[in-house]
Amino acid sequence: MMVQMFKSKIHQVKVTEANLNYVGSITIDGDLLDAANILEGEKVQVVNNNNGERLETYTIRGEAGSGIICMNGAAARKAQIGDVVLIITYAMMDLEEAKTFKPIVVFPDENNLLKK
């Protein structure tokens, strides 16, 4: 049996940009992607704490250390600059792996940077 499990999360980052005239996706600081073990192009769920919106999209790697969280394309309609979002990934696992799997949760600072 396969189950879908919580894989990783970037917890409470602020949207820094919204670019409606883009093909789509979310651009995320490369350091945050690496810390959360999220790949470029990986499907993510974005949960907006400010308005309750939830959406699925894929990631684009932003400049490391930039703090960028940019909602692109239609996703730009779901968040405003300054909104606080959570970025979550899930993975399919067999039941035995799922019983022992430990997800990664990243808690960036107020500038969307990794805490030192």
The catalytic site residues sit at: 25, 58
Residue closest to 14 by CA, chosen among 115, 116, 112: 112
Both tokens of residue 54? Answer: 């939830």
Beta strands in 1-116 (DSSP E): 2-14, 17-19, 25-29, 43-48, 54-62, 69-72, 84-94, 104-106
